[in-house]
Structure 1
Amino acid sequence: MVADIDLSAATFLLGPEQTFSPDQEKLAQAVMSFVRQHLPLADHAVFVITGDAGTGKSAVLAHLFASLQTQARSGSGALAGTQNTLLVNHQEMLKIYQEVAGANPVLRKKDFMKPTPFINAAHRSGSLTDVTFVDEGHLLLTEPDRYNRFDQTNQLAEIIRASRVTVLVFDPHQVLKLKSYWDWPRLRTVLAPYPHTLFDLDTQFRVHSQAAVQSWINAFTAGTIAPWPVHPGYDLRVFADGTPLYQRIEQQDARYGLARVLATADFPFTVFGPTKWYVTAGTLRLPWDKISMTATPWAQRPETLHEVGSIYTIQGFDLNYAGIILGPSVGYDPATRQVTVDVTRYQDNEAFKKRSDLPDLTAARAQIMRNAINVLCKRGRHGLYLYAVDPQLRAALLAAQAKGEDNGH
C-alpha cells in the first residue's frame, strides 16, 4: 500500500486516513478472485471497472496493483513471480504513479508505462504479461497514431492480446478525442472474443455533496439547467465576471489548498513553443497551462494557481475547489431552454481530427465537448464555481441561482 505517502495533494489515490467503501471493497475482492481464476488459464480474460468521474475507480486500481505486486515479489503464494504492469495514457497521472513507486519498496517505476511502449515491447518480445492494469481506459487509441508511434488499430485489443488478464477502468463519458473515441458498442466488440466481466461503481467520492448537486451537474452536462440544488456543505456558485471567480479561488487556495481555475478548450493555444496563450473571462485574463517536464503534476505546483488548467492537465485529479470558465462554444438557447455546444468554436483541433469510421462526426464531436464539461465540473471535492463567456448562458445560470436563493436553497 501507499499509506506512508502524503496523498492529500490532488491525487486520485487513497490518503493515509481513508478506507474503502463497501462497494470498493467488494470490487477489490471481485478483481482478485477474477485474477486468480483466469491467470492459470491464459485465456486473455478482461475485468472492466466502470463508473462516473469521481467514483474511486483509480483508487481501487492503485490499491489492487500494489497488493498484486506485493504478492508477486513475496516469493510465495499463487501470484508469486507474476509479471504485472499498470498502463495509463495520461502523462500527469503517470507522474503520480511513478512518484508513488519511488516511495514504495514493493513498486518500481518501470511497473508503470504508457500503452504504446508496452504494446511495441510486447510485439518485439512475443511474451505475455500476466496481469495488465489499465487506468483511464477510455483514453486508449482506437485508430493508428503516427505521432504516438502506434501502428495498429486499437490499443485495448493489442493490450488484451499481450496479457493473460487485463483489468480495465472505463468511462465513455470521459472520452476527449476522436482518435480515442469509445462507446459501449465499440467496447463490446473488442471484449466479445474473451471471457470478461463488468463491475460498476456508482458511489460518488470526489464531489462531497448531496445527490442533488451531482444530479444538477449531470443535467447541465446533458444540456439542461435544472432547478438550483440544495447543497449544504458544498459551495456551488455562478459568477457574473471571471475576476471575482478567480479571487474566490485564490481565497480558497489560501485557506484549504488545491483550488484552481480550469476552462473548456475554447481559447487558442499550442502545446509546445515559447508563445504564451491566454484565457479571457470578462475582465479576467490568465495564461493557459503549459506542458511541464517536471515530475510534479500540474495541480500540485503552487505557481499554477495563476494559470488556467485544461482537461488534459486535470483529468483524473482531485481539487478542493474548481473554478470553471465555460468558453464561447458553450451557449444557451432560450427558446428550447437547452445548453448548447458549437463544434465550430472548439479550439482543440487535436481532439477533432477526422476519422472515416464514425458515421456522424458532428454528433461525436458534440459528445466529446459535453464529456469535457463533465470532466471539468467534477473536479472539485467541496465547491464548483462557474463563469460562462456566452451572455445568454451566463444570464440563465445566474437566473437559476437567484431563483434557488429566493426559494431558500
Structure 2
Amino acid sequence: MNGTSIEIKKQQVENAAIYKLSPFKALSDEQMRLKEKIITFCKENVKNSTPTVLVIHGDAGTGKSVLLNAVFYELQTLSRNKVDDPLYHTNNRFIVNHPEMLKLYKNISEDLPYFRKKDFERPTSFINQMHKQGETADIVLIDEAHLLLTKSDKYNRFYQENHLEEMIKLSKVVIIVFDEKQMLKMKSYWDKQKLFEIIDQYPNTSFHLTNQFRIKADQDVIEWIEQFVQKRILPLPQKQDFDFQIFDDPVKMYRTIKERNATHQLSRIVATYDYPYKLDGKDYFVQEKNFKLRWDRYQPNAKYAWAERADTIDEVGSVYTVQGFDLNYVGVILGPSVSYDEEHDQIRINSDKYEDQAAFILRKDVKNPEAIKEQIILNSINVLMTRGVHGLYIYPSDATLRKKLLSLSRINGQ
C-alpha cells in the first residue's frame, strides 16, 4: 500500500462515527486524569453495601462519551482478564437511553476482546431484567443521563418513577454523564436540583469536563452558539479554518453539505422539530423555499446509526437522530418556531409551532411548563448546532431572523 493509499485509509477510519467514540481514541490530560480517578473510585467502592455515585458534568463536545467508553473498556478488561485485581469478575453494564447511540456502542464492541454486546443496554431493559432475576450490578455507567425518564412510561414498560433512582438501587457504583442543556422532553425533565435530590441520598462526588473537543474552532464560535441558545445574537465569528456560514437558500446549503460529505464524509442536514413527522411507516418531509427533503426514516433494526449510513445524505436528521454524535459538517435548518424579536433584539421561541408535541406532554409535578417548553426547544438548537467538528451552516426559515443573520454575514464579509 503506497503513502497516498495509507493516508486515504487513515482519513476513512478517522471520519467513521465508530472511531470517534473508540475507547482507544487518545484522551486529553484532563480526560486521562479523570479516567484514573474514576477507576480508583470504582475499586474503592465496589465492595460497599451502600451505592455510591460519581457524576461527570460537561457541555456538548467536552468528550464525556469517549471518556466514559474508555473507562468502561478498562473496567471490562480488569473484570475479564486481571485475576489479581479488585474488579476481577465484577458484573458491569453500560447504559444509554438513545437507540442510535446504543447501535454505535454495540458495533464498537464487536471487534474488542473484553466487550460483549450484552454489556450495553437501554435503562428500562436493565431495570426490568435486574428485577426479574433478583440481581444487582456492580458498576453501572450511564451515558447521556439527561435522557433518563423522570416519570413512569407504561407504554415503554417502565413502571417506576425515575430511571436513575431505580438504577442506583440496583447497583453498587454508578457513574453518570449529565448535561442539563440537552434535556429534550418533558417526561425526562431534569435540572441539577432534581439530579442532586436523588444522588444526595447516597455518598457521591462530581467532576466537570471543561475543554471543548468536538468543535475545532476559535472561542468566538463557541461563544456565538452559547449566546444564541440564550436568545442573544452576537456578531458573527471571524473568518477561520472552521467553516461558519449563514445561508439564504436551503437548497444551496444542502448542496454544500453534499459536497462536504463527498470529500470529508459524516456531513448531514438536520432541522429543528418544526415539520410534521409520525412514526407510522410513512415518509414525511421538511419543506422550505424550493426545498423538500425527507425526514430520517425510523429504522430501529438497522445495524448502523443514522449518521453512519450513506443513504441518509438524502434525509434530514432530527435532534433525536444526531444527539451524542460527531459530524464533520452540519447544516442546521432553524424552523418556524425560531424567530427574531426586532424590538428587543433577541431570539423569539414560539412553542406552538414546534411539531414535537410528544415532548410537551404535561406532568403535574412540573411548574411553569411554558418556560420548560421554550427551554426544550433551545436545548434542541444547542444539540444541533454543536454537532459539526469542522463546520456549521445555518438556514433560518423565519424571514426576520434570516434577514438579521444575513445582515451580520454582510458586515462580516461573508
TM superposition score category, shorter chain reference: over 0.9
- Counterpart residue number, 1:340: 348
Match of 1:212 in 2: 220
Structure-1 separation of matches of 2:14 and 2:100? 15
The answer for the alignment partner of 2:288 in structure 1 is: 281
What is the CA–CA distance in structure 1 between the aligned matches of 2:78 and 2:263, rounded to whole Å? 41
Contact 1:219 / 1:225 at 8 angstroms: preserved in 2?
Answer: yes
Asked if residue 103 in structure 1 is aligned to residue 111 in structure 2, the reply is yes
Query: Could you report, residue by residue, the CA deviation over 1:333-383 in whole angstroms, capped at 9, with x for unpaired residues?
Result: 000011111111100021111111111100011100000000000000000
SS in 2 for 1:37: helix
Taking the TM superposition and a 5 Å limit, the aligned residue runs for 1:259-298 are 259-273=267-281, 275-292=282-299, 293-298=301-306
Deviates more, 1:93-102 or 1:8-17: 8-17
Alignment of 1:78-89 (within 5 A): 78-89=86-97
Query: Structure 2 counterpart of 1:58, which letter?
Result: S
Corresponding position of 2:400:
392
Q: Which amino acid aligns with 1:167?
A: I
Give the structure 2 partner of residue 115 of structure 1: 123
Match of 2:7 in 1: none
AA matched with 1:214: I
Counterpart CA distance in 2 for 1:76 and 1:233 is 49
**Is 2:405 aligned against 1:405?**
no
The alignment status of 1:132 with 2:140, answered yes or no, reads: yes
Question: 1:179 Cα shift?
Answer: 0.4
1:325 to 320, 333, 341: 333
Counterpart of 1:316 in structure 2 is 324
Q: Distance in 1 between matches of 2:380 and 2:36?
A: 32
Q: Distance in 2 between matches of 1:7 and 1:382?
A: 13
| Pairing 1:143-154 to 2, within 5 Å after superposition | 143-154=151-162
CA distance in 2, matches of 1:220, 1:25: 32
Q: Would you say the 8 A contact 1:12–1:317 is kept in 2?
A: no
Please report how far the alpha carbon of residue 8 of structure 1 lies from its aligned counterpart in structure 2 after TM superposition. Answer: 3.1
- 1:352 pairs, out of 343, 350, 360, with 360
1:205 to partner: Cα distance: 0.7
Q: How does 1:24-63 map to 2 (within 5 A)?
A: 24-63=31-70
Instruction: Measure the CA separation in 1 of the matches of 2:121 and 2:309.
Output: 23
**Count of paired positions:** 402
The structure 2 residue matched to 1:155, chosen from 163, 171, 174, is: 163
Structure 1 residue 14: Cα displacement: 4.5
CA distance in 2, matches of 1:118, 1:246: 40
Preserved CA contact (<8 Å) 2:18 2:108: no
What is aligned with 2:190?
182
Which stretch shows the higher mean deviation, 222-231 or 314-323?
222-231
Q: 1:102 to 1:18 in 2, by over 3 A?
A: closer
Amino acid at match of 1:50: H
> What CA distance in whole angstroms lies between the structure 2 residues aligned with 1:189 and 1:17?
35
1:8 equivalent to 2:12? Answer no
1:69-127 deviation digits (Å, cap 9, x = unpaired): 01001133111010000000000000011111111121111101000011112222332
Q: How much has 1:17 moved relative to structure 2? A: 8.2
Kindly indicate whether residue 279 of structure 2 is the aligned counterpart of residue 236 of structure 1: no
Runs of 5+ consecutive residues of structure 2 not aligned to the other structure = 1-9
| Cα separation, 2, equivalents of 1:128 and 1:221 | 40
Q: Which residue of 2 aligns with 1:169?
A: 177
Question: Does the 8 Å contact 1:243/1:283 carry over to 2?
Answer: yes
Query: Cα distance, 1:272 vs. partner?
Result: 2.8
The answer to whether the Cα contact below 8 Å between 1:235 and 1:382 also exists between their aligned partners in 2 is: yes
Paired with 1:92 and 1:33, the residues of 2 have a C-alpha distance of 31
Q: Does the 8 Å CA contact 2:23/2:70 hold for their aligned counterparts?
A: no
Alignment partner of 1:376 is 2:384:
yes
The alpha-carbon distance between structure 1 residues 142 and 158, as it changes in their structure 2 partners (threshold 3 A), is same
Partners of 1:134 and 1:59 lie apart in 2 by 12
In structure 2, distance between residues paired with 1:103 and 1:337: 52
CA–CA separation in structure 1 for the residues paired with 2:297 and 2:170: 34
State the match for 2:99 in structure 1.
Answer: 91
- Map residues 186-205 of structure 1 onto 2, 5 A cutoff: 186-205=194-213
Query: What is the aligned counterpart of 2:80 among 73, 79, 87?
Result: 73
1:12 CA displacement: 7.3
Q: How far has the Cα of 1:36 moved from its partner?
A: 1.2
Query: TM-score normalized by structure 1?
Result: 0.96
The DSSP-based 3-state class of the residue aligned with 1:103 is coil
1:255 aligns with 2:263: yes
- CA shift, 1:49, in A, is 0.7
Letter in 1 for 2:208: D
Contact 1:263–1:327 (Cα < 8 Å) also in 2: yes
RMSD: 1.6
Q: Distance in 2 between matches of 1:14 and 1:255?
A: 21
Letter in 1 for 2:341: D
Matches of 1:298 and 1:148, distance apart in 2 = 22
Secondary structure of residue in 2 paired with 1:64: helix
CA distance in 1, matches of 2:108, 2:74: 13
Deviation at 1:13, TM superposition (A): 3.7
